[in-house]
Amino acid sequence: MKMKSLLLVAAFVGSILAATAAEKIVGGPKGGRLLEVGSQKAEFFVTKDRKAEVTFYDAGLKPAALGAQVVAITAEPKSGRKTLELEKTANGYVSKTALPESAEPYRVVVQLREKADASPKNYRIDLNLDKCGECKRAEYACTCDH
């Protein structure tokens, strides 16, 4: 009996920790959202003309030259899923077209691979470009605890 309740408590605490880790948003230098790819950091950022941009950084958050990383970005508005065509920049990738105009927030999936044969890591981002009144960041990159 005692063992069983201990296990229940452990499972409960474990689920709280997992939920917190999943929701914690780290802000990037441009005002976007910081993601991890292998040992590197990558920032997902939406430019003024609504293009989706991914910038890679070194450990000190200085822009890093684009290496072998592979990025795929899929927008999932109600009107239907759309994979964005990307072009390379000095430090990452930017979409050739703007993110679809649609009722927000909608889901954007950013898939990062350290290199072509590495296992992909998917980040699901709720695209909401409204500005948060507290941290003054766009809501998709809001670092507040609400």
Q: How far is the CB of 145 from Zn ion (least distance, A)?
A: 9
Of all residues in this chain, which one has the CB nearest to Zn ion in the complex? 132
Q: Which is nearer to Zn ion, 110 or 138 (CB)?
A: 138
The letter for the amino acid at 5 is S
| Residue 39: exposure state from Cβ atoms within 10 A (0-12, 13-18, ≥19) | exposed
Contact between 129 and Zn ion by CB under 5 A: the answer reads no
Q: How many CB atoms lie within 10 A of CB 66?
A: 16
Stretch binding Zn ion (CB under 5 A), from 9-17, 26-34, 101-109, 124-132:
124-132
> How far apart are alpha carbons 51 and 75 in whole angstroms?
11
Q: Which of 36, 85, 126, 134 binds Zn ion (CB under 5 A)?
A: 134
Contact between 126 and Zn ion by CB under 5 A: the answer reads no
Give the end-to-end CA distance of the chain in Å, rounded to a whole number. 37
Given the rule CB under 5 A, which residues bind Zn ion?
132, 134-135, 142, 144
